[in-house]
């Protein structure tokens, strides 16, 4: 099973981040993907992107490359 990050990436959803927090716009596709990850849904928060004015999702601790970079350091 793919992680939320991997599914979004594979699905062509625009991804942004701040450290380990994963951000992506609310679209039909991103909502469908998020629904397949109930634990991520529990902690997801919605916000208005100040640049575009669109609604985005913030899922704390789900930006996978952040954790992969930390695992390489150890």
Q: Write out pLDDT tens, residues 8-51.
A: 999 999 999 999 999 999 999 999 999 999 999 999 999 999 99
What residues does 55 pair with on adjacent strands?
Answer: 48
Cα-based distances in Å from 48 to 5, 24, 25, 52, 55: 20, 11, 9, 8, 5
Q: What is the pLDDT of residue 18?
A: 97
Domain boundaries in the chain? 4-73
pTM equals: 0.91
On the question of pLDDT at 74 being above 60, the answer is: no
Q: What is the pLDDT of residue 72?
A: 76
On the question of pLDDT at 70 being above 70, the answer is: yes
Q: What is the pLDDT of residue 8?
A: 98
């Amino acid at each position: 099973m793919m992680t939320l990050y991997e599914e979004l990436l594979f699905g062509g959803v625009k991804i942004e981040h701040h450290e380990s927090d994963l951000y992506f716009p609310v679209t039909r596709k991103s909502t469908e993907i998020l629904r397949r990850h109930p634990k991520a849904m529990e902690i997801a928060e919605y916000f208005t992107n100040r640049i575009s004015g669109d609604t985005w999702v913030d899922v704390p601790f789900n930006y996978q490359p952040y954790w992969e970079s930390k695992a390489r350091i150890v």
